[in-house]
């Protein structure tokens, strides 16, 4: 049955002149399953239907330019940003260290070193500190022994009474234990260490950083300083150990991606603009009620490429200066949501299915017939003649749903019937609501499909990707005034307001 459906779909496409291949086949590519389809290793080569955007992103990566991507959800904005990170050189990566400031503890010092060197420096400083701690512990133990021995010597010589000797022994023991515990805590707790803290560690990385800051709050985006509840008696944590880098710092020498950028507060957008201009931004506590607000580091490097994304609504809410910065030192790109229905683009969709299978890693590969149904679905979802949809995230959901069904049935490959079943399971909420509404309305079927009846017409109501036929009736009654009126009630009155006026004018012209 499924094969007949596929064949019928092919014939429909061919007879309507919508198959650009012109040979009656959905895909003019000789393969049995998507196992045979080569999948590019680089993300930039996996992007489909956005050739203009790909060229600009390649250029922006070479020149380190910012990019703003405008387009519908699921058209590849985040994938383009990740691909850009792959194109950046790894040799420029750096580690960032934060040091204690002996002159002003609330202004920790910042130092950058080549990637991989930061970890070595911290280990060396820690070893040095452990050595000093061991010496301190030995000295403290020696002092404790002296303090514990001295009362006994003084008692044996008759210099003090037994009561004074016992009291001296207790005090000496408490002091000695306090010193030993203090050195032990500093030796075992890195938070109490005065060695530098490795703020950004890029050792061993084979790709430039890619940081997705979508929806990030100020502390996560710009960095923060932790609150210290113990700020006295030497029990507090050094200020430099409480510094937490922000996403703008983690993206140093890489890509910072922010989708729906207008969701950032105006202040965060202004701070982001400052970081882009200065290429460094100090870290301070974000809460005014926290002790971290007293700490402000030296400026921390944050030389990132911003890839911002959004839709047309975001343009209105975006900070004008931030957008100007992107436009003046980068590119704005409008992403396609459909592409021409050509043999070449259909082959790209075949590769897309293969890519989704490889990325998922849990679903079987597709047969050629199953891929053809996916392509026909892409054609239907485009909503335009001779076009294929580029909302590939949604289409990928159909691929994964079909793969899950094939797994549940124990199929070695995804078959056409799996895709047909997945189409029912992978419906959006709007489509499910529309189906339920249509099903309920069918129980009250009052359509007349034969003969003729004055004042009645069958109208088509569209809801989502489906629809139903609704009866529309009209009544005529004598006018009580010289001028008659045509009245449409309910939603019909709003939708067909102009049409009603036009009909009224024609009726008056011929009937007076």
**How, if at all, do strands 456-463 and 466-473 pair?**
antiparallel
**316: Cβ contacts below 8 Å, ≥ 6 apart:** 262
Fold identical between 2-47+338-426 and 56-113+205-334? no
The beta-strand segments (E) located in 337-451 are 338-340, 387-389
- 283-318 b/e with 16+ CB inside 10 Å = b? bbbbeeebbbbebbbeebbbbbbbbbbbeeebeeeb
**How, if at all, do strands 94-99 and 197-200 pair?**
antiparallel
Bridge partners (DSSP) listed for residue 68: 308, 332
Where is pLDDT greater, at 353 or 509? Answer: 353
Helix 162-188 and helix 117-156: axis angle, to 10°? Answer: 170
Tell me the per-residue pLDDT of 7-41, one tens digit each, with 9 for 90 and over.
444 433 333 334 443 344 577 788 999 999 999 99
Average pLDDT value for the chain? 83
Tell me the per-residue pLDDT of 294-326, one tens digit each, with 9 for 90 and over.
899 999 999 999 999 998 888 888 999 999 999
pLDDT at 6: 41
The mean pLDDT of 355-375, rounded to a whole number, is 95
Tell me the per-residue pLDDT of 150-199, one tens digit each, with 9 for 90 and over.
777 777 777 777 777 777 777 777 776 666 666 655 555 444 567 899 99
Give the Cα separation of 338 and 340 in Å (integer). Answer: 7
Q: For residue 69, how many other CB atoms are within 10 A of its CB?
A: 27
pLDDT above 70 (res 417): yes
Confidence of residue 232 (pLDDT cuts 50, 70, 90): low
The mean pLDDT of 262-268, rounded to a whole number, is 91
**487: Cβ contacts below 8 Å, ≥ 6 apart:** 493, 500
Tell me the per-residue pLDDT of 40-68, one tens digit each, with 9 for 90 and over.
999 999 999 999 999 999 999 999 999 99
CATH of region 56-113+205-334, choose from 3.40.50.2300, 3.40.50.10440, 3.40.50.300, 3.30.559.10? 3.40.50.300
pLDDT at 14: 36
Give the Cα separation of 146 and 507 in Å (integer). Answer: 118
**345: Cβ contacts below 8 Å, ≥ 6 apart:** 49, 339, 388
Tell me the per-residue pLDDT of 380-405, one tens digit each, with 9 for 90 and over.
999 889 999 999 999 999 999 999 99
pLDDT at 2: 41
pLDDT above 90 (res 5): no
pLDDT above 70 (res 491): no
Domain boundaries 2-47+338-426, CATH class: mainly alpha
Residues above pLDDT 70, as percent of the chain: 79
| 3-state SS, residue 204 | coil
- C-alpha distances out from residue 326 to 198, 252, 332, 420, Å: 31, 18, 8, 45
Burial of 10 (0-12, 13-18, 19+ CB in 10 A): middle
Tell me the per-residue pLDDT of 73-116, one tens digit each, with 9 for 90 and over.
999 999 999 999 999 998 889 999 999 998 998 999 999 999 99
Tell me the per-residue pLDDT of 439-462, one tens digit each, with 9 for 90 and over.
776 666 666 777 777 777 777 666
- Would you list the domain boundaries of the chain? 2-47+338-426, 56-113+205-334, 118-197, 456-511
């Amino acid at each position: 049955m499924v094969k007949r459906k596929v064949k019928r779909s092919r014939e429909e496409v061919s007879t309507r002149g919508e198959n650009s291949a012109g040979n009656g086949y959905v895909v003019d590519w000789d393969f049995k399953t998507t196992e045979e389809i080569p999948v590019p290793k680089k993300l930039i080569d996996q992007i489909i239907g956005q050739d203009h955007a790909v060229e600009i992103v390649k250029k922006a990566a070479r020149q380190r330019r910012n990019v703003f991507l405008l387009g519908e959800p699921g058209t590849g904005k985040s994938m383009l940003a990740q691909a850009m990170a792959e194109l950046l050189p790894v040799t420029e990566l750096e580690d960032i260290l934060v040091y204690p400031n002996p002159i002003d503890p609330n202004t920790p010092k910042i130092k950058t070193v080549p990637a991989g060197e930061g970890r070595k420096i911290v280990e060396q400083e820690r070893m040095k500190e452990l050595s000093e701690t061991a010496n301190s512990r030995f000295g403290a133990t020696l002092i404790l022994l002296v303090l514990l021995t001295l009362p006994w010597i003084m008692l044996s010589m008759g210099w003090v009474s037994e009561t004074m000797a016992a009291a001296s022994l207790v005090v000496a023991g408490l002091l000695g234990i306090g010193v030993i515990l203090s050195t032990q805590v500093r030796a075992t707790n890195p938070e109490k260490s005065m060695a530098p803290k490795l703020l950004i560690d890029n050792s061993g990385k084979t790709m430039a950083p890619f940081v997705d800051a979508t929806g990030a709050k100020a502390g996560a985006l710009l960095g923060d300083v932790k609150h210290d509840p113990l700020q006295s008696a030497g029990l507090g944590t050094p200020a430099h150990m409480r510094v937490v880098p922000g996403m703008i710092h983690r993206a140093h020498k890489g890509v910072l991606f922010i989708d729906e950028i207008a969701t950032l507060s105006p202040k965060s957008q202004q701070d982001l603009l400052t970081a882009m201009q200065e290429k460094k931004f100090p870290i301070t506590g974000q809460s005014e009620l926290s002790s971290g607000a007293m700490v402000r580091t030296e400026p921390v490097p944050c030389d990132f490429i911003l890839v911002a994304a959004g839709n047309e609504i975001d343009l209105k809410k975006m900070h004008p200066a931030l957008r100007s910065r992107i436009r003046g030192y980068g590119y704005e790109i409008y992403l396609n949501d459909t592409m021409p229905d050509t043999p070449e683009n259909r082959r790209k969709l075949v590769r897309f299915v293969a890519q989704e299978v490889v990325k998922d890693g849990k679903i079987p590969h597709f047969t050629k017939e199953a891929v053809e149904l996916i392509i026909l679905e892409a054609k239907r979802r485009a909503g335009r003649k001779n076009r294929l949809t580029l909302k590939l995230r949604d289409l990928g959901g159909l691929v994964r749903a079909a793969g899950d069904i094939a797994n549940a049935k124990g199929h070695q490959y995804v078959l056409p019937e799996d895709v047909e079943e997945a189409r029912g399971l992978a419906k959006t909420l709007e489509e499910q609501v529309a189906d339920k509404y249509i099903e309920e309305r069918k129980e009250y079927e009052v359509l007349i499909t034969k003969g003729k009846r004055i004042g009645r017409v069958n109208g088509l109501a569209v809801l989502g990707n489906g629809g139903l036929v609704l009866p529309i009736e009209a009544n005529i009654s004598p006018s009580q005034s010289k001028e008659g009126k045509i009245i449409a009630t309910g939603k019909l009155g709003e939708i067909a307001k102009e049409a009603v006026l036009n009909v009224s004018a024609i009726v008056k012209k011929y009937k007076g």
